[in-house]
Amino acid sequence: MTEHDRAERDRAERELLARATAWRDQDPDPETRAELTDLLEQITADDSERSDQRENALRDLASRFDGRLEFGTAGLRGELGAGSARMNRVLVAQAAAGFAAFLVGRAATGEKPSIVIGYDGRTNSDVFARDTAEIMAAAGVSATILPRALPTPVLAFAVRHLASSAGVMVTASHNPPRDNGYKVYLGGDDHGSQIVSPVDGEIAALIEVAAESSVASIPRSDDYATAGDDLVMDYVRLTAAVAGSPQARTIQPRVVYTAMHGVGWEVARRAFATAGFTEPIPVAEQAAPDAAFPTVAFPNPEEPGAMDLSFATAARVEADLILANDPDADRLAVALPVGGDRTTWRRLSGNEVGALLGWRAAARVAGDAGEAGEAGDGDRGDSGLGTGTLAASIVSSPALREVARQYGLPYADTLTGFKWVSRVDGLVYGYEEALGYLVDPAKVRDKDGISAAIDMLSLVAELMTAGTTLEQHLQEFDARFGAFASSQVSLRVSDLADIPRITSALRSAPPADIGGHQVERTDDFLNGFEQFPAGDILRYWLGGDASHDGSRVIVRPSGTEPKLKVYIDAWSTTGDAAARRVAADAVVAELEAGVRQLLA
């Protein structure tokens, strides 16, 4: 190493140590303050020699201050810990101060903005929520905090129900146990949806201003309100109403429910009871909130093994259905017994659930839902009976588009993320394949795993009352609308820069075929595409459209995890329901093998 390089290295180290020391000195959390103190002592104690311990401490410290955890349309989300690149009380205080400045700045003259704040059962969620309430109150924002750890849909409901200017939900949803996050909603003209661009940039700029001063100087006040249980009961009552008339469901399914160590069980249990359903059998090991998530590697019902305890419980009690919420209960997973054998269970994909609930929603709009939630007779084409739009994210199955077509209803594709789905004009139902469903947009403008569970349970009860099953109903869907199959390949990366490198390589050397299926057209969203803004998304069409046999592959980065995701869809309308299913599944298997080879 040259003298110049050594001098540059020493200068960079001094700057890092100064940033870390300044951060530590303003940190109100003794745990994260101690993390930095320990690292700083390891570095300064060995200043005379570059030991392995000192170098490791320097690398750790550098990773914590390698930029800031970015505030965007998903708010904040990241690993708990000290430093500007982690989730902690300093970062949350800066975010709350910046968001408060935004709300006060956009309020009309003489108007006092308001906010409602919720939190789940993750580590420090309650602390981050109280910090936010205190800073908002001191800034002149009328702040209300939810009475205890509650699901995200309750907070999203509260923003609309209380006519608040904004909402914050402290949650990392289904992320790994050591993560936490900060989701932001807006009322008024945004109707309680999550923020979108350019508002995220405006808030981020004000957060940067707040970060220029020590958080110890940010004013705080305990002049904030705590919501009563009547708010939760209002949510429960309106959610239970999704079940509809009890006359159509004289048979009660035996249901197993898991909260995945999250906050769903209390509210879901009350909603089921209010709707007139027999109380589900909880997966006991996962019923109570536990920030360690001890029985799952990832608290996400989509992850392999996450629902194993649900399957075991369902087999033991011979259940008819499994309903699983993720830890903040905004997502829903559904599983059914295979071939009527209650010892063997299969989780439905998000696209399967999304299509069935979409069929049910379309039938409701048309006013012809039968006792089993069936869609009525014939192809409605463009008859236009009923009003309301069905919507799904672009990576979700084309199945919902076909449902809308047959019912003569408007359909909208959106960018990935419920912040986009929830904003569709005239929305009556929306979903995204990552287990997110919105079945009652008049009540809430975000995905809601509890109201979706009520709707699915109602469907199953109606089917059983009519002498059929959910598995048979899926076959009826194939017969009426076509068989739609889907799969997903995820490539987890350790360096986020690997993702644009991979997509750039796909652009420079585009595939002529995938899994033996010729690529007929490529849609590149990099500079914007049709009504969609610019994004690092590639969509390959391999024949057909939503109403004829065909397939597609979509490549995009994950919005919440260090992953490149590839979404695979195929569909068939040729032959009977069984033949269609075989054909669609076979194409998806071939495409999945081709995608894995393409990314290898």
Residues annotated catalytic, as ranges = 173
Nearest CA-CA partner of 348 in 363, 362, 337:
337
Q: Would you state the structure tokens that stand for residue 320, as one six-digit string?
A: 């008819």
Task: Compute how many other C-beta atoms are within 10 angstroms of the C-beta atom of residue 11.
Answer: 10
For 93, 415, 458, the CA distances from 29, given in Å and listed in that order, are 11, 38, 46
DSSP state of 595: H
Q: Are 319 and 428 in contact (CB under 8 A)?
A: no
Q: Are 172 and 182 in contact (CB under 8 A)?
A: no
Q: Are 437 and 396 in contact (CB under 8 A)?
A: no
Q: Are 114 and 162 in contact (CB under 8 A)?
A: yes
Beta bridge partners of 87: 80
Q: Would you state the structure tokens that stand for residue 514, as one six-digit string?
A: 């995938």
The distance from CA 337 to its chain's CA centroid, rounded to whole angstroms, is: 26
CA pair distance 147, 460, nearest whole angstrom: 33
Count Cα atoms within 13 angstroms, Cβ side, for 194: 21
Task: Compute how many other C-beta atoms are within 10 angstroms of the C-beta atom of residue 448.
Answer: 32
- Exposure string of 367-384, with b = 16+ CB inside 10 Å and e = fewer, is ebbeebbbbbeeebeeee
Beta bridge partners of 414: 393
Nearest CA-CA partner of 468 in 373, 551, 388, 348:
373
Q: Would you state the structure tokens that stand for residue 431, as one six-digit string?
A: 């979903």
CA pair distance 65, 68, nearest whole angstrom: 7
CA pair distance 409, 555, nearest whole angstrom: 28
CA pair distance 95, 72, nearest whole angstrom: 11
- Residue 22: phi and psi, rounded to 5, are -65, -40
Q: Are 253 and 321 in contact (CB under 8 A)?
A: yes
For residue 255, the surrounding DSSP H or E stretch is strand 255-258
CA pair distance 344, 338, nearest whole angstrom: 6
Give the end-to-end CA distance of the chain in Å, rounded to a whole number. Answer: 37
CA pair distance 280, 254, nearest whole angstrom: 7
CA pair distance 476, 469, nearest whole angstrom: 10
Torsion, CA 291, CA 292, CA 293, CA 299, rounded to 10: 70
Q: Would you state the structure tokens that stand for residue 162, as one six-digit string?
A: 């209380």
Write out the DSSP string of 482-493.
Answer: -EEEEEEEEEE-
